[in-house]
């Protein structure tokens, strides 16, 4: 695996490239870094030239001062795709999925295909989803507690609150490996920065509808109920170019819980986009408004 640094958009980004074949970029979510993909990279590298990286403000990449924006993350991703060789396949998780979708809407020519798992684009849920209001309010309250701790400089406490009150559940923090707890704590300020961007949870669905490439949009059967709604709205915007799939037995990080299945499913999807015209497989869930 070749490790390198790139100066793009005013920041130094750390990235690694391994494998041979069509280019594939993996984009991680909040709190973590490129190592979140370590369980799937060896399998994917059998078929693709895989690039993983630390998004700005995470681990080995530079953390610039001042308020950041998701658009900057999108521009960083664009630059790395161009370094690897555009267009590229892109697979992304959580806030990384929001980033990849934003880039697909703005610069669709850079992506051969897009795979996005559970982007937290809460603003597209809308007020019409009344049954979700109680759980969304509870989630927002929990996030407020996390952000209050981070703004007070209590990074470890904020990370623990996120893990136990938002992401996994009570007692989960102590069950995480120490290295993972250290990574969460080190990257905590960037989570607060992401939420300082007023557009962090928004996406222009009309512009996304212009993305011509194939897309695989997924959510876990064990995930909170707003993710199927978000993914459904994205699939509707993309129309027949999008496959919407439930990952049974998975939650927010399927590349960690079932890495071989995730890698094989991603590779199969990418191969299908090259071997035949894009169509919705019988096993995929239909889009819903």
Work out the percent of the chain whose per-residue pLDDT is above 90: 85
pLDDT in tens, 166-186: 988 899 999 999 999 999 999
Cα→Cα distances 24→96, 107, 176, 266, 273, Å: 14, 16, 29, 10, 14
Domains of the chain as residue ranges with CATH = 2-126+199-275 (3.40.50.1820), 130-196 (no CATH)
pLDDT for residue 96: 98
CA atoms 149, 155, 161, 167: torsion sign: positive
What is the C-alpha separation between 230 and 125, in angstroms, rounded? 6
pLDDT in tens, 83-107: 999 999 999 999 999 999 999 999 9
Burial-class residue 144 by CB neighbours within 10 Å (0-12, 13-18, 19+).
Answer: exposed
More confident residue, 266 or 276: 266
Mutual orientation of helices 133-151 and 178-196 as an angle, nearest 10°?
Answer: 100
Whole-prediction pTM? 0.92
């Amino acid at each position: 695996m070749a490790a390198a640094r790139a100066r793009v958009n005013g920041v130094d980004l750390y990235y690694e490239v391994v494998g041979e074949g069509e280019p594939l970029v993996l984009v991680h979510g909040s709190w973590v870094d490129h190592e979140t993909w370590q369980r799937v990279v060896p399998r994917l590298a059998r078929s693709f030239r895989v690039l993983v990286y630390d998004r700005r403000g995470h681990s080995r990449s530079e953390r610039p001062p001042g308020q950041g924006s998701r658009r900057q993350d999108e521009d960083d991703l664009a630059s790395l795709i161009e370094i690897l060789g555009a267009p590229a396949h892109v697979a992304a998780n959580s806030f990384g999925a929001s980033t990849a979708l934003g880039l697909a809407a703005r610069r669709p020519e850079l992506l051969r295909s897009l795979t996005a798992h559970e982007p937290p684009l809460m603003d597209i849920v809308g007020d019409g989803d009344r049954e979700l209001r109680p759980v969304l309010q509870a989630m927002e309250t929990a996030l407020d507690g996390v952000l209050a701790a981070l703004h007070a400089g209590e990074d470890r406490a904020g990370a623990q609150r996120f893990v136990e009150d938002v992401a996994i559940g009570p007692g989960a923090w102590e069950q995480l490996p120490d290295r993972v707890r250290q990574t969460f704590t080190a990257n905590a300020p960037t989570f607060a920065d992401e939420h300082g961007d007023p557009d962090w949870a928004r996406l222009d669905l009309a512009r996304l509808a212009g993305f011509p490439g194939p897309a695989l949009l997924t959510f876990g059967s064990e995930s909170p109920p707003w993710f199927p709604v978000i993914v459904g709205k994205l699939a509707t915007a993309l129309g027949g170019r999008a496959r919407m799939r439930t990952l049974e037995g998975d939650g927010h990080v399927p590349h960690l819980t079932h890495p071989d299945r995730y890698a094989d499913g991603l590779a199969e999807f990418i191969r299908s986009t090259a071997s035949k015209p894009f169509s919705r497989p019988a096993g995929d869930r239909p889009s819903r408004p």
